[in-house]
Chain A
């Protein structure tokens, strides 16, 4: 039984349990945050992407032990930000959403990418999204949405 303190969506929280548990299970089952999705369980699809200390990580293969002392942000908190509003508008306008199962993870990956590089090229976006699979869109409309968010949200990142 481990005791792990970290911040989840800016609130200090304490986890008590098996240190090897997957971060995704702690987020979804213990804290009821269902916006983080499980698509593959082995770090391939990125539907489970969350931010740990502002970097995108696949929460399905992140042991909860490793978030000790770190800041975890899920879509449930990120959606309250101005950056999110810009991304959401861009995703809506550019048709970047179809089935939506990959979308919260895409948004998290986009946030991580823009945090590092506020004005990425289309190619840099494809690299930034390379851990997030989408089976519906063929990606081009997502890439366009992120280019648009970078432009419309100039100065936010």
Chain B
């Protein structure tokens, strides 16, 4: 029974999930709050939960070909301090929660929690990262973009575990992450923006922008982005107005207890403008 509850390896965790176990608990920083009960009582997490934070083989940062591979259960603070971590992801993690939260929360948990305001997930979306989803039946690799289908919802099957994140290295890219929270630290994003652009000899060869907290999922639109590839920097800058118009149609935030739709939209587009002008 004890061994069942605390898998020591990825294989054990997958077996537990295959047997109907769940939910997966990684750092617990989101789940423990969502399911909390009266102080002193255990949060409403069933006995079938699969605890993965202590599975050593799921906690690492390493190079894998042209990508950086990060284990699904790697704490954010480890990633923040790792020399291989891409700058954009590092920038996003730096502004996620507090040291205590970063020591506890994992990268996989941040993705599977599927908050549109998640900062690491925003950076990963912008960088075109993918995740490895594993079950006893097999492995699939899917882009981070599309992993979430709405707040708290993902495409993961019940028996799947997010075992790794594969991040393209961003050397040679110009990247930026801007978080707008209710205060300077330890805040949930009211709106956030990530950008990554690659320029070779004055020509834009890659272009990505992503917005957080402006819709039910993190927003990235490859179809719009593709239209800039191959243009000169000056040509992209000249199109600032059109770009803002194009994104203005799809950035559709809401009012809530942290901000309002108008502010979120205006600031999101301000940040986009600033980025376009900086190209």
Contact = CB atoms under 8 A, between A and B. Distances in A.
Q: Do chains A and B touch in the complex (CB under 8 A)?
A: yes
B42 A22 contact: yes
A1 B4 CA distance: 11
B43 A22 contact: yes
Contact of A109 (B6, B35, B97, B99): B99
Interface stretch (A61-69, A72-80, A82-90, A145-153): A61-69
Contacts of B184: 130
Given A25-B42, A131-B101, 10 more contacts: A1-B1, A2-B6, A49-B100, A57-B100, A62-B104, A63-B25, A63-B43, A65-B5, A65-B6, A66-B27
Contact of B104 (A20, A57, A132): A57
B157 to A, nearest CB: 23
Interface of B: 1-2, 5-6, 25, 27-29, 32-33, 35-36, 39-45, 47, 49, 51, 53-54, 77, 97-101, 103-104, 184-186
A55 B77 contact: yes
Contacts, number: 118
A56 B103 contact: yes
A42 to B, nearest CB: 5
Given A19-B49, A57-B104, A63 B28 contact: yes
14 contacts: A2-B5, A4-B6, A20-B42, A20-B43, A22-B36, A25-B39, A38-B39, A57-B100, A66-B104, A70-B54, A109-B99, A127-B185, A130-B186, A132-B98
B185 to A, nearest CB: 4
A20 B99 contact: no
Contacts of B100: 43, 46, 49, 56-58, 109, 131
